[in-house]
Structure 1
Amino acid sequence: MADSLCVMDVYHAKGDETVDSKEQVFLEETFYILSKKKSVFRVRLTSKGLSLIKETDDIAKEQTILLRDIVGSKCMRSKRRRAGGGSCVCSSLVGHHQLKVVDENSGDLDESDISAYLYIYAYVLKRGRRTKRERTTITLRFRSYDRYEDNNKEALKWRTTIKCLLENLSISNNPPINDKKLLVLLNPKSGPGKAREIFQTKVAPILQEAEIPYDLQVTKYANYAREFVRTRNVYNWRGIVAVGGDGVLFEILNGMFERLDWQQAFAEVPLAILPCGSGNGLATTICYHYDEPFTNSNMTGLSISLTRNRTAPMDIMFSFLSVGWGLLSDIDIESERLRAIGGQRFTVWAIARLVGLRKYKGTVSYALIKDIKTIPKSKHPLLSHSVSQDGTLDSPDTEAFYDCDEQSETFKSVNGRRHERVDSWYSVHSRRSAFYSTRDSDYHSVTSGSEVRSPVHACMHGPAPHLPSLMSQLPNTWVHEHGEFVMVHVSYQTHIGADLLFAPQSKLCDGVMWMLIIRAGISRSQILSFLLTLTQGNLAEINNEFIKMVPVSAFRIVPEGQNGYLTVDGELVEYGPIQAEIFPNIINLLVPDNV
């Protein structure tokens, strides 16, 4: 239910208080409160927001509803109360007649009430022990004129100005119109399986208040989202929203890279995520960067970001979150059987894996960034070179698209052993698609026989790689570590889960990946301390004989043996050699407005 902040009547006086010179005043009126005849509100619509100055018995109190907290507004008028009708949210406006304020297009309008009502919807950020957003409705009643049409004209002027300000457009007499819809791809099986319910109850009402139309597509089988964005005209939509776990966005990302026009698509169609899964690393990262409260049950801030046109660039390594080998990947994949309990599944399975601690043998190689402050900012959003401290990744430009042909099925690793080749996203010699599908998917196809399914393996395109292929030797400037490991995890986001602050120094777009390496020999008590530290975000301060966190611009992991898990963005991929490099400024994300 709406929390009505104030219900005010327009009055013909004009406020004359001084205004901050940095604020531009667009509209100003004085209203009074019907229930308190000696109280008036001087209301200003400024470049900062909606300023409400309450004056009662020579005492003035001011409150400002910031523009970034306002999602939309709507003009209304009153309707006759039907016999047996319930209480009215605006009963104080009309005394015992209890007329209800409804959409002006509704039937059975009360022609005797010439007032026009403006509802302004806002979600005000309340900071305290528990920071959260509270829904607030400001109701302004315009009745300065003798005709409804004239009063409605005044209300519409306020509404139009608010809409222009929210969309960062020049003020005009005509409300801005953007008929483009959001494309919402929703996985109903993410996390505990409540994605559809959460979207309808938490997100859809905000989009409705903001007058943002959307197309909702519920995924029907594994890779549905990937196929959808690859085969449709994505330019018909103003943005693509992944609703579910990190895996939904993983599919969308791969589907976009399977388009020949991937570069234009990423530049013109921003992406967004609304977390309903178990991990929710990227969503937490976005909220962390933009000082937005986040819990799995409260997505208000992220929902508001869908109503704005603000975007921010993000690096990728042909994933959007992390690549893992060892402990954290074991916990992620093996806890799938506990998906119904949500994020708590990770804690439960972490205890199990701590008791039965495993170690894995292999080689970890990386291009170390000696000083992250020296990395130049990329000026070009796409096809720019990845940069390492020693320039070891720089190479002559190659074709901007991957070649889907393969020349060899094996390659020789640093230690001289031969391995069966596993596709790398980052080698120009990749044979198959760069996409890794999920094993043991919960999806079951419900497509009709007439529906044409696209090929399972489509050619992956993308920016030109600078790494040698997995069959080639790495530059001699790289660091190579061979031995037994408890885990290796690489991420370029601050969070790899809602409660796992992995790399506090990370930015959405800084050209840096953070590699956590834990060697075998570490005690269980040290592992427990590490897991507790992971929830507090102090990993950058940990460097000892067993644990270290290093900034890198590229890496290669070559596991030995056949037993283990490799994960990309929490999704299981083939177990074998894998490598990645950072590509700056590839994706545009819809982000909260914190200006």
Structure 2
Amino acid sequence: MSTSDLALEQPDAQLQHDSSITVDKAVSLTLSSDSLLVLDERSNHKSNRGCCAPCKSNIDSPKTVAISLYNILDAEINPTSLVITYAEHSHKDDVTVTALRYKIGDKEKPAVEAWMARLLDLAYGAAERRKRLKVLINPHGGKGNAASLYQKYAAPIFAAARCQLDVQATEYNGHAIKIAEELDIDAYDTVVCCSGDGLPYEVFNGLGKRPNGREALARVAVALLPCGSGNGLTWNCFGTGSNSIAALGIVKGLRTPLDLVSVTQKDSRTLSFLSQSFGIVAESDLATEHIRWMGAQRFTYGFLVRLLRRTVWPCDLAIKVVLDDKQAIKEHYRSYRLKGDEDADSLSDQKRIDAARKSPELPELQFGTVQDELPGDWETVPGETMGNFYAGNMAIMSKDTNFFPASLPNDGLMDVVTIDGNVSRSTSLKMMTEIETGGFFDMPEVKIRKAMAYRLVPRQKEGYISIDGERVPFEAFQCEVHPGLGTVLSKSKRIYEAEGPR
């Protein structure tokens, strides 16, 4: 049952502290804890729902309508009417912009203005209104349809919410790094990427390359409109692969600190927001670039092809382990999930920005680089028969792949999964199905650790290493977590939109 259904079935419980007004003589607008309730008692009434193009045509209105406050985009009073704009679900995976319009007289305006202010306060809560968005469109994203996806599904939502927009197409691989590096961080709240996860990867790294990288990463949030194969950032932050629902999520998104990971190779240092992989997952991702037309299914295809070969990827692996017991990891996740807002947000957004201004450079590497001596208190993990190494600081890697269910946005830890390459094919196939059903975490063949850092040294000369879905040189690399270094927009500041471990 939806919250709207509950609001309609339990009016006394929901409405005891609500604020109501009457407009157009016989239309009652009532604010509940989570909905706007519209009761139209006019005889032979016709819908006053209008469309902000492109959106659905006017239809006869039901007598009672419940609209989630989350879907309210804006409200205004023009000379003769109150206009409330909202995102209406046209079907499960799409919302379109729709408007309610009701006549009001001059004497009613003061009361309506006060009510409207309360409506918007409840509708946005702690979310920034009228966000200033730098929109980057990868013209090759979404099978070349990223620009049209943005214009059709996202632009109307942003316009209805009165976001300030600056739209730019990227022109070459790495262009978003340059754009982010030169961005006026006083002019924008969020960089919105119309792409797959590759463009957010570039934006995080472009912000991090600035002399005031830490400050830039704290001040400018990064968001994704899903136009790629995996779209992990959107799935984790908003729980959707829909452009219009993701656009609504951006409009209503809460600024959320995000752990970022420094990846060092030789003399280079890059930032990772999503995952690092070596072994079967890396090959399934990077060795299937030629079949991107398959969408997310190419990962499954690549996995199955490599599974049949039963290949191992020998390596030397050392990890700075914090938790390695699955029950302890579950307890860590549950305790974090149950924290109140004050506990979870002990360092407010403004205090975090102020701290970053005082120390604007990227944080120093606590454990050095991959070229430094290995710390003595790290756990050495046997890697002679490594089948899969996968580290993540987000839960969902692509649709239906909740690979790291115990992952959290800002706990200062990444989840490291290792699987022996000698497990049977039947067990490997079972792992694929158990990821979707939620049983993967508890499989005895799956070793999971929460860690602050690790170092991996391949023993072979050729292969694949993937950082956030991007190929990097096949050589030794070291990773270290920086708590809350980056900023994203999300529905919840504490957890991802994913099922936690059972």
Q: What's the secondary structure of 2:406's corresponding residue?
A: coil
Q: 2:17 corresponds to which letter in structure 1?
A: E
Residues 200-244 of structure 1 deviation map (CA, whole Å, 9 limit, x = unaligned) = 100000011111121011000111000111123222112111110
Tell me how far apart the structure 2 counterparts of residues 584 and 183 of structure 1 sit (CA, whole Å). Answer: 25
CA shift in 2, pair 1:53/1:268, >3 Å: same
Question: Does the 8 Å contact 2:97/2:160 carry over to 1?
Answer: no
Deviations 1:253-286 (A, max 9, x none): 1111101112222222222111110011121111
> Among residues 341, 365, 374, which one is paired with 2:318 in the alignment?
365
Cα RMSD for the two superposed structures: 3.4
Instruction: Name the CA shift for 1:538/1:381 in 2 (closer, same or farther; >3 Å).
Output: farther
Q: Secondary structure at the match of 1:364?
A: strand
Work out whether residues 313 and 509 of structure 1, in 8 Å CA contact, stay in contact via their aligned partners in 2.
Answer: yes
| Cα distance change of structure 1 residues 538 and 153 upon mapping to structure 2, 3 Å threshold | same
2:300: which partner in 1? 347
Distance 2:142 2:102 in 1: 45
**Partner in structure 2 of residue 283 of structure 1:** 234
Taking a change above 3 Å as real, the CA distance of residues 525 and 512 of structure 1, as seen in their structure-2 partners, is same
Task: Answer whether contact 1:554 1:581 (CA < 8 A) is retained.
Answer: yes
1:23 to 17, 20, 27: 17
User: Do the aligned partners of residues 209 and 587 (structure 1) sit closer, same or farther apart at CA in structure 2, a change above 3 Å counting?
Assistant: same
Which residue of structure 2 aligns with residue 581 of structure 1?
A: 480
- TM-score of the aligned structures, taking structure 1 as reference length: 0.65
Q: Distance in 1 between matches of 2:348 and 2:73?
A: 30
Which whole-Å CA distance do the structure 1 matches of 2:401 and 2:223 have between them?
A: 21
Higher mean C-alpha displacement, 371-380 vs 329-338: 371-380
Distance 1:570 1:488, change over 3 A: same
SS in 2 for 1:196: helix
CA contact (8 A) 2:15 2:31 kept: no
Q: 1:512 to 1:260 in 2, by over 3 A?
A: same
Aligned to 1:507: 408
Aligned with residue 142 of structure 1, among 95, 99, 103:
103
Number of the residue aligned with 1:3: none
The reply on whether 1:497 has 2:448 as its aligned counterpart is no
CA offsets 1:435-486 (integer angstroms, 9 cap, x no match): xxxxxxxxxxxxxxxxxxxxxxxxxx52121114323022234233231211
What is the aligned counterpart of 1:188 among 139, 151, 156?
Answer: 139
Report if the CA contact (8 A) 2:95-2:244 is conserved. Answer: no
The question of whether the paired residues in 1 share the 8 Å contact of 2:35 and 2:67 is answered with: yes
Change (3 A) 1:231 1:356: same
CA distance in 2, matches of 1:374, 1:162: 37
Maintained 8 Å contact 2:310/2:422: no
The superposition leaves residues 472-506 of structure 1 with CA deviations (integer Å, 9 ceiling, x where unpaired) of 02223423323121111111211111221101122
Larger Rg: 1
Alignment of 1:543-558 (within 5 A): 543-544=444-445, 547-558=446-457
| Aligned partners of 1:119 and 1:138 also within 8 Å | yes
Q: Which moved more, 1:477-486 or 1:573-582?
A: 477-486
| Deviation (angstroms), 1:309 | 6.0
Contact 2:190 2:222 in 1 (8 A): yes
**Does 2:28 correspond to 1:42?**
yes
Residues of 2 paired with 1:330 and 1:192: CA distance? 21
8 Å CA contact 1:381–1:585 kept in 2: the answer is no
Q: Is the 8 A contact 2:134 2:167 kept in 1?
A: yes
2:469 counterpart (570, 573, 591): 570
Shift of 1:321: 0.5
Letter matched to residue 137 of structure 1: T
Q: Is the 8 A contact 1:240 1:272 kept in 2?
A: yes
Taking structure 2 as the reference length, what is the TM-score of the superposition?
0.77
Residue in structure 2 matching 1:312, options 256, 260, 284: 256
Q: Which deviations, in whole Å up to 9, do the C-alpha atoms of 1:510-547 show, x marking residues without a partner?
A: 22211111212222222211222223332210223xx3
Q: Which of 434, 437, 440 is the matching residue for 1:536? A: 437
Distance in structure 1 (CA, Å) of the matches to 2:363 and 2:458:
27
- Tell me how far 1:182 sits from its aligned partner: 0.7
- Give 2:158's match in structure 1, choosing from 188, 204, 207: 207
Question: Deviation of residue 165 (structure 1)?
Answer: 4.8
SS at 2:419's partner residue? strand
Q: What residue number does 2:499 align with?
A: none
Give the residue type in structure 2 aligned to 1:29.
T
Shift of 1:161: 5.4
- 1:23-422 aligned at under 5 Å gives the runs 23-25=17-19, 28-31=21-24, 40-45=26-31, 48-55=34-41, 63-73=65-75, 116-124=80-88, 131-132=92-93, 134-135=95-96, 137-144=98-105, 162-163=119-120, 165-168=122-125, 181-288=132-239, 294-295=240-241, 298-308=242-252, 310-317=254-261, 318-370=271-323, 371-372=328-329, 373=331
Decide which of 358, 366, 369 is 1:466's aligned counterpart.
366
Q: Give the Cα separation in 1 of the matches to 2:302 and 2:14.
A: 55
Check whether the contact 1:468–1:474 (CA below 8 A) recurs between aligned residues.
Answer: no
Please tell me whether the aligned partners of residues 320 and 377 of structure 2 are also in contact (alpha carbons under 8 angstroms): no
Distance 1:380 1:555, change over 3 A: farther
Amino acid at match of 2:69: L
Aligned-residue identity in percent: 23
One-letter identity of the residue aligned with 1:41: V
Name stretches of at least 5 consecutive residues in structure 2 with no aligned partner. Answer: 1-10, 44-61, 262-270, 337-343, 350-357, 495-502
Change (3 A) 1:477 1:160: closer
| Alpha-carbon distance in structure 1 between the residues aligned to 2:14 and 2:460 | 68
Is the helix fraction higher in 1 or 2? Answer: 2
- Deviation per CA, 1:100-129: give whole Å up to 9, x if none: xxxx8xxxxxxxxxxx34332223569xxx
Distance 1:527 1:364, change over 3 A: same
Q: Deviations over 1:57-114 (max 9, x none)?
A: 9xx97543232111123556xxxxxxxxxxxxxxxxxxxxxxxxxxx8xxxxxxxxxx
Amino acid at match of 1:353: R
**What is the identity, as a one-letter code, of the residue corresponding to 1:42?**
S
Letter in 1 for 2:87: Y
Q: Which runs of 5+ in 1 are unaligned?
A: 1-16, 33-39, 77-103, 105-115, 170-175, 289-293, 383-398, 402-460
Change (3 A) 1:46 1:487: closer
8 A Cα contact 1:381 1:584, kept in partner = no
CA contact (8 A) 1:72 1:162 kept: no
Q: Is the 8 A contact 2:385 2:421 kept in 1?
A: yes
For residue 563 of structure 1, report the CA deviation from its aligned partner.
1.3
Aligned equivalent of 2:420 = 519
Secondary structure at the aligned position of 1:338 is classed as: helix
Query: 2: distance between equivalents of 1:525 and 1:238?
Result: 48
Over 3 Å counting, the alpha-carbon distance change for 1:20 and 1:378 in structure 2 is: closer
